[in-house]
Structure 1
Amino acid sequence: MTNALIVIDVQESFRARPLWQTVDNPGVVANVGLLVDAARAAGDLVVWAVHAEPGTGGVFDPVNGFVRVVDELRPADGEPLLVKYVHNAFTGTDLQHRLTVAGVRSVTVCGLRTEQCVETTARVASDLGYDVTYAVDATATFPIPHWDAPADQSVAELLADPRTLSAEDVVSRTRYVLEGRFATVKTVKEIIGG
């Protein structure tokens, strides 16, 4: 096996937040599902990662029950489910070891958030020598508040603030910084054919 699909943070934690109503790609879960099905059919390794923030009391705190893969998707028997505590799926997990043992040379990354955990995982994977494909339409993100915006800003306030970085701009920027440097950026259709 030389290929792996890394599914990053496609978890209920995000859907439990009010910000979910602003998700830029409502079809992200379905698109991730297409990649998972294709990877399984090809005999590729599928690795799942979820983000946890123990002790915070929020939706990423495991005690609240949201730190789990979304209900529509499920890891199959034998597919590892890693818990990560930082932005990339390598640091603090045994992901690199699992990929090495399986003989993986190329990875496809997908999940949440486009510019955060998925992009960071793509960059680290590239630095570790993997050939990286970034599945742009199997990722999703949200508008990003200005760094001076109040931490308790409502979704309505976020959207009304002219300093907010739009999700569209976030995705565009991510494509620019990854393509040809850290990854090949492709759509799900380009990855699985059809």
Structure 2
Amino acid sequence: MNEYYFNYKSSGPDKPGVILYFTFIMSLSASLLLCVLANGLLAIFSFLIAIILFINLRKRMHHKIRQKEHIITSENDFSCIRSRKIAYRNIIHIHVPVEEIGALGSDIYERYKNSDIDLPYLNFTITMSSGEKIEWILNEWGGFYNSKKDFETFFIFLVEITTKIHQLYDTGHIESRYLKILDQNGDWNL
């Protein structure tokens, strides 16, 4: 039995982000309008309220999107915060973005490091026979929502569950490579 703790980015809609920027723009516009039409002190006061509101909403958005995960694995199943116990035999599909993971030989970090583009968040999905999906979004090199250590912890968990599934369905071959059940696209289907 192993336990894993890591942070990840939730995959929910980014409604707080839209509300955050809309509110900030509206508050800023209102303060500028007050500055033009009325007393300068009132405009400064409304601008300070807009900044405080922006900072507060930004913190709330960050806490809503950044999630903490606690996974406990056993011989036949695993459990996580977002779902009950999940038996390995009930997993019918796993998707891992293998072409974008540096630990699997991707050079994507070098390409992004030499550009102005932010490093991508990688989307990992496990689908059960009931149709339920569990999704984790992480940045391999650390970012706003998870650290590099969080990704390393998640990757160890991923290696463990793919090894257990491999043993469940193919007991004759024990290979020593990472994520042995995935195809070249990063998918595994029952």
TM bucket, shorter chain: under 0.3
Flag the structure with larger Rg: 2
- Name the TM-score, length of structure 1 as normaliser: 0.22
Relative to its length, the structure with more strand (as a share) is 2
Pick the structure with more helix per residue.
Answer: 2
